[in-house]
A and B are shown apart, each in its own frame.
Chain A
């Protein structure tokens, strides 16, 4: 038995994509009710609602901050409600808040919802938000910097340092899209997986980043019910147990980041999480990496020594990370494969970590999975949170 204190016992999710008839509150109702039902508890047993901040959606941000979710859902037992914002790392922090609420005795079951509806945000507002979130208004933005520009520069440098080729970078997209094609909650479910040639033939957005190496903004949502590990064990239902966690903050902006130290910190955070779980990298069955763009994937694989130095790109190219491969990697296909739901890709990754450990992942189910590595990052890569999850 592990020293786990937290477990996910219920998950609910709606498909990612553009659904004009599906409102924000439709998503909240559908995901929360599904998660509570999946957990096998009564709605009034939820004692706290800790919501992932709905980025770029100020109206509903306000509604949720001031308690509308427990009100709408009639969660009569709810004692605490709050919103947590750390960009793409919000879900990790929601889980930590939930863990503290549970550990302190303030709540037995905590509901963690998330929703994003990008499609009805007026385009100028959306552009305005993404142009400035995580990009400094004084030292970066006036030069015409964008998220794609930042990632393009990181990709350029990574390819230069590691010798990774454009074809190998494109193969990361292919691998992620292979997972997505099997995922009913992906906007690319059952869609043709692009070939390396097709990825490279898509227009250049910011060299060396092609259109198909960027993310498509989409709507989506998910929810989780969490409880103490002790309670989860007693219930004897499938659950995902948090076994270890490590985190680091780097810098708010990419200009001021020490990239060498960032690499060391990512590795250290991972090793801390593994050490807490009493595991080593070879124990991990699934690497559920959320880093939003292709470059983070081979970079992290290299950093963690999961392949021979400088061979990460080839690991993707040779299919080891794709469904059926020896190193199952990002089983929802990260933001490239799932569709980018702002801070929502992180909760979707956690939900899939739980789904895999609960044995509910359908076609994507990795056989005999015992341990899953999960990571998140917020803003323009301001931080890194690694965690290890297991069946107990």
Chain B
């Protein structure tokens, strides 16, 4: 991801940014005419005095106006979407452009009271942003006690799910351990446009912050399709070489990266058409369950190109290469779920009439496991199948188990059993039986 633009400073504005880095909002002040000045200048714009100093702002402000940015921003800001920009009027009589963070969009209004909060842009620059002055309007993920850079970023991200336009993001299941991310363009066969790509990337990063979630279910809305790949509306923009490369290498491919790099177990729920980029999204998931009536294929070769979001890389790694080649070279879009399963790709296929119940039961069982164990399992298996040698893979496994065993919460759970090890045996037997599906 490209670096965020940093403020282009002038010698006479550096003190402002030094103050921001130290958590102080400074306002330039003319000691001759007493004017408060923003943007800071070399001389006072009122009287041309150079007798300038800095006063520390109270940090309190009111919203003059605001907007929620949802689209058509520079690529470097895509990962932030949606975000709120505002004009805020400071108590010191100056107006700033800033971002409002740590707040639900529907709670923001003109005249709202705010207070400054600093968000690190990089190691050297902190941006003055604003959050509601009323603590009850702040998002829980971003409290005054946890205002580190990471928490700040979490606060900004926490605004997102309510605003997605092309996907749905919900949590549910026992103890809210499952996050449901649903491609939600059913009238377009859930095809992926730029907006959906941005939102998926955002959602899969966002879910990292859901500590109790162990499993993400990725599904498609409507009856017709899980997903049919990249939306044809994008194609005209691909006529330009750089634009095409960006879509293949970043804007689109980053969706797969966000899924495969997601620290939760991603379960793909497939119905209807699962084609081209839709199949490639499925390939980035950890577990793939399909309705018997689902249909699969990669159709890119019919246009003289090839799957471009990992299809040529992941299909041959998911089944014998001779079968993968047929899928890619044939351009067929009518492979049945059973055929694909027999070729080695899917985790499991259920008859349509039994699918929902079987899928729910399967996912609920996995979601009942400790998220940290699922995360560790996903990571070491990914490294293992990526082709490291056996001893390395075994070392990874050994050390992962060791880490899990000595994780504080595991130790806390084991504590009561130390006095009577037989209790632990009984508990393990009970948990194992609960996991059985038959």
Q: Report A's interface with B, CB cutoff 8 A.
A: 122-124, 127-128, 131, 136-146, 148-149, 152-154, 156-157, 160, 203-209, 211, 214, 253-256
Q: How far, in angstroms, from A327 to B140 measured CA to CA in the complex?
A: 52
Interface residues of B in 71-125 (CB under 8 A from A): 71-75, 77, 80, 83, 85-87, 95-99, 105, 110, 121
Cβ-defined contact, A206 with B7, below 8 A? no
- For residue B85, which residues in chain A have a CB less than 8 angstroms away from its CB? 143-145, 149, 153, 206
* Size class of the contact patch on chain B: 35 or more
Taking A123-B242, A152-B67, A208-B67 as known contacts, 5 extra A-B pairs with beta carbons closer than 8 A to each other, sorted by chain A number, are A144-B83, A160-B110, A203-B195, A206-B72, A207-B105
CA distance A152 to B105 in the complex (A): 15
Alpha-carbon gap, A137 to B6, bound state (A)? 8
Given the contacts A123-B240, A131-B74, A153-B85, A145 and B97 also touching, CB distance less than 8 Å: yes
Contact of B38 among A148, A154, A160, A256 (CB under 8 A): A256
Q: B residues touching A (Cβ–Cβ < 8 Å)?
A: 4-10, 13, 38-39, 64-75, 77, 80, 83, 85-87, 95-99, 105, 110, 121, 127, 165, 195, 237, 240, 242-243
Contact B7 A204 (CB under 8 A): no
Contact B39 A144 (CB under 8 A): no
Q: By the criterion CB–CB under 8 Å, are B5 and A206 in contact?
A: no
In Å, the complex CA distance between A203 and B166 comes to: 11
Question: By the criterion CB–CB under 8 Å, are B69 and A203 in contact?
Answer: no
Inside 8 A of B66's CB, which chain A residues have their CB? Answer: 153, 156
Residues of chain B contacted by A214 (CB below 8 angstroms): 72
User: Which A-B residue pairs are the 5 nearest by beta carbons?
Assistant: A152-B67, A157-B65, A144-B77, A137-B8, A153-B65
Bound: A142/B73 CA distance, A: 12
Distance, CA A331 to CA B86, complexed state (A): 33
Does A136 lie within 8 Å of B70, measured CB to CB?
A: no
Report the minimal beta-carbon distance from B111 to chain A, rounded to whole angstroms: 9
> Residues of A contacting B5 with CB < 8 Å?
137, 141-142
Which residue of B is nearest A123, CB measured? Answer: B243
Chain A residue nearest to B74 (CB atoms) is: A131
Q: Which residue in A128, A136, A153, A205 is a CB contact (below 8 Å) of B86?
A: A153
Interface pair A207/B68, CB less than 8 Å apart: yes
**Are B98 and A142 in contact, with the CB atoms below 8 A?**
no
Residues in chain B near residue A205, CB distance under 8 A: 70-72
30 pairs of residues in contact across A and B, judged by CB atoms under 8 Å: A122-B240, A127-B75, A128-B74, A137-B7, A138-B8, A138-B39, A139-B7, A143-B85, A143-B98, A144-B74, A144-B80, A144-B83, A144-B85, A146-B69, A146-B73, A153-B67, A157-B110, A203-B195, A204-B70, A206-B67, A206-B85, A207-B67, A207-B105, A209-B67, A254-B87, A254-B97, A255-B87, A255-B95, A255-B96, A256-B38
- Give Cα A145–Cα B242 distance, bound, in whole angstroms: 24
Residues of A within 8 A of B70 (CB): 203-207
Of all chain A residues, the one with the shortest Cβ separation from B71 is A205
> When chains A and B are docked, how far (Å) is the Cα of A295 from the Cα of B205?
36
Contact between A149 and B67, CB atoms less than 8 A apart? yes
Q: Tell me whether A146 and B97 are in contact in the complex, defined as CB-CB below 8 angstroms, given that A153-B66, A156-B67 are known contacts.
A: no
Q: Chain A: which residue is nearest B76 at the CB level?
A: A144
Q: What residue in chain B is nearest A130 (Cβ atoms)?
A: B74
Asked whether, in the complex, the Cβ of B7 is within 8 Å of the Cβ of A144, the reply is no
Q: Provide the bound-state CA to CA distance between A256 and B87, in Å.
A: 10
Indicate the member of B39, B72, B83, B121 with the most A CB atoms within 10 Å.
B72
Do residues B242 and A122 form an inter-chain contact, with CB atoms below 8 A? yes
Given the known inter-chain contacts A153-B87, A256-B38, please indicate yes or no for A144 contacting B69, CB distance below 8 A: yes
Q: A146 — which chain B residues lie within 8 A by C-beta? A: 69, 72-74
Complex interface: chain A residues within 8 A of B72 (CB):
146, 148, 205-206, 214
Which of B39, B69, B105 touches A136 (beta carbons < 8 Å)? B39
With a CB–CB cut-off of 8 A, which chain A residues contact B80? 144
Chain B nearest CB from A310 CB (Å) reads 17
Instruction: Decide if B68 touches A143 in the complex (CB within 8 Å).
Output: no
B117 to chain A, nearest CB (A): 14
Docked complex Cα distance between A148 and B242 (Å): 24
Instruction: Specify which chain A residues have a CB less than 8 angstroms from the CB of B98 in the assembled complex.
Output: 143
**B97→A255 contact, CB < 8 A:** yes
* Contact between chains at A127 and B74 (CB < 8 Å): yes
On whether the beta carbons of B71 and A203 are closer than 8 Å, the reply is yes
Task: Chain A residues near B83: list those with CB within 8 A.
Answer: 144
Docked Cα-Cα span, A64 to B150, in Å, equals: 51
Closest to A131 in B: B74
**Chain B nearest Cβ from A121, distance in angstroms:** 11
Q: Are B13 and A138 in contact (CB under 8 A)?
A: yes
A255 to B98, CA, bound (A): 10
- Which single residue of chain B is at the shortest CB-CB distance from A258? B95
**Contact for B10 among A124, A138, A160, CB less than 8 A:** A138
Of B13, B39, B99, B165, the contact of A256 (CB 8 Å cutoff): B39
**Chain B residue, CB-CB nearest to A138:** B7
**Chain A nearest CB, measured from B240 CB (Å):** 6
Q: A127-B74, A205-B72, A256-B38 are in contact. Are A143 and B95 (CB under 8 A)?
A: no
Which residues does chain B contribute within 8 Å of A127, judged by CB atoms? Answer: 74-75
Most A Cβ at <10 Å: residue of B10, B71, B80, B86: B71
User: Nearest chain-A residue to B45 (Cβ)?
Assistant: A256
Query: B97 to chain A: which residues have CB within 8 Å?
Result: 139-140, 143, 145, 254-255
Give the docked Cα–Cα distance between A208 and B121 (Å): 28
Give B13 Cβ to nearest chain A Cβ, in Å. Answer: 7
A152 to B66, CA, bound (A): 8
Asked whether, in the complex, the Cβ of A142 is within 8 Å of the Cβ of B7, the reply is yes
Nearest Cβ in chain B — how far from A139, in angstroms?
A: 5
B contact residues around A207 at 8 Å (CB): 67-68, 70, 105
A149 touches B9 (CB 8 A): no
Residue of B with least CB distance to A252: B39
Residues of B within 8 A of A206 (CB): 67-72, 85
What residue in chain A is nearest B10 (Cβ atoms)?
A: A138
Q: How far is the CA of A145 from the CA of B66 in the complex (A)?
A: 11
Which A residue's beta carbon lies closest to that of B37? A256
- Chain B residue nearest to A160 (CB atoms) is B110
Within the complex, what minimum Cβ distance (angstroms) separates A71 from chain B? 32
A157 to B67, CA, bound (A): 10
Closest Cβ of chain A: how far from B220's Cβ, in Å? Answer: 20
Closest-CB distance, A268 to chain B (whole angstroms): 22
For A257, give the chain B residue with the smallest CB separation: B95
The answer for the CA separation of A370 and B64 in the assembled complex, in Å, is 41
Asked whether B71 lies within 8 Å of A204 as measured between CB atoms, the reply is: yes
Assembled-state Cα–Cα distance A211/B110 (Å): 23
Complex: chain B residue closest to A153, CB-CB: B65
Q: How far is the CB of B226 from chain A (nearest CB, A)?
A: 23
In the bound assembly, the distance between CA atoms of A305 and B97 in angstroms comes to 31
A383 to chain B, nearest CB (A): 17
Residues of A within 8 A of B8 (CB): 137-138
Chain A nearest Cβ from B116, distance in angstroms = 14
Set of chain B residues within 8 Å of A204, measured between Cβ atoms: 68, 70-71, 165
| Chain B, Cβ-Cβ closest to A214 | B72
A153 to B99, CA, bound (A): 12
Nearest CB on B from A218, distance (A): 15
